[in-house]
Amino acid sequence: MVDHLANTEINSQRIAAVENCFGASGQPLALPGRVLLGEGILTKECRKKPKPRIFFLFNDILVYGSIIINKRKYNSQHIIPLEDVTLETLPDTLQMKNRWMIKTSKKSFVVSAASLTERKEWISHLEECIKHLLTKTGRQPCREHAAPWIPDKATDICMRCTQTKFSTLTRRHHCRKCGFVVCADCSRQRFLMPRLSPRPLRVCNLCYRQLLAEKKEEAEADRRRAEPIRSALQGYEPSSGDDSDKSDDEKGEQWPADTEFYTSEVSWSSFHS
């Protein structure tokens, strides 16, 4: 289906329509070989509360954004390379049904569909695209994923100290390593995690100690790997290149001349065919 739609006018028109809906706030989406396979509204479990989001499935990326006017205007565009995606089906809760998690190395979050059939269609199409991309590129599935943030309303107390109660004056914070809801006292530390951000991020005290221990272990492993090289260089004194201390006889010695040297219009998913 992808090969059939890749160079068609209808595919170009669909992608152009998506770009127009995001306007100047969105990135260009048209690329040679890129195909829009489906679109639909899913409920994303956000930090404050679940919110509807528009999702567009391409053969190589997943795009989603906030809905301003359905089918006409979206913003807050997010683009996720499908090679980085892993899916996990989740059980229903009292508030949300037909849930699954979209996990990536930079961000992981939970979405839910309006029906079980819709969830099956989304997961089936996503897995097919991911499998095709990984086969094409020869890459292995991503094994390191960012922790999803636990929603604010999931707890009224800090999930680390279990003592601090949240209120209007006592803010909730999220550890970027484990995703737990924590108080300020339990998350005063910052740690650089290049996979997530170029700047240090807030982490809880427990994760901070674990990250420091991991960093120390990595440094020790690097030291052990470098030890054989240092041992081999012990006692070796490189030449300074200065021959001024040699005798005239030594300076007169030459190498023999012959010496050789080396060198859609529906409220749920619409998958295009």
Taken in order of first residue, the domains within the chain and their CATH numbers are 3-137 (2.30.29.30), 149-221 (3.30.40.10)
**CA dist., res. 257 & res. 110, Å (int):** 75
Inter-residue contact 87 to 47 (CB < 8 Å) = no
- Whether 74 has a pLDDT exceeding 80, the answer reads yes
- Residues of the chain with pLDDT > 90: what percent? 66
What SS3 state is found at 17? Answer: helix
Least confidently predicted of 5-14, 82-91, 205-214: 5-14
- pLDDT value for 139: 86
- pLDDT value for 252: 44
- pLDDT value for 102: 97
- 153-182 pLDDT, tens digit each: 899 999 999 999 999 999 999 999 999 999
- Whether 52 has a pLDDT exceeding 60, the answer reads yes
More confident residue, 126 or 254: 126
- Whether 238 has a pLDDT exceeding 90, the answer reads no
- Residues of the chain with pLDDT > 70: what percent? 82
**pLDDT-based confidence at 95, cuts 50/70/90?**
confident
- pLDDT value for 234: 66
Mean residue pLDDT of the chain comes to 86
Q: What is the mean pLDDT of residues 36-53?
A: 94
- Whether 228 has a pLDDT exceeding 70, the answer reads yes
**CA dist., res. 180 & res. 161, Å (int):** 11
**CA dist., res. 145 & res. 198, Å (int):** 17
Here the tokens at position 71 are: 């089918």
- Whether 49 has a pLDDT exceeding 80, the answer reads yes
Here the tokens at position 124 are: 């089936």
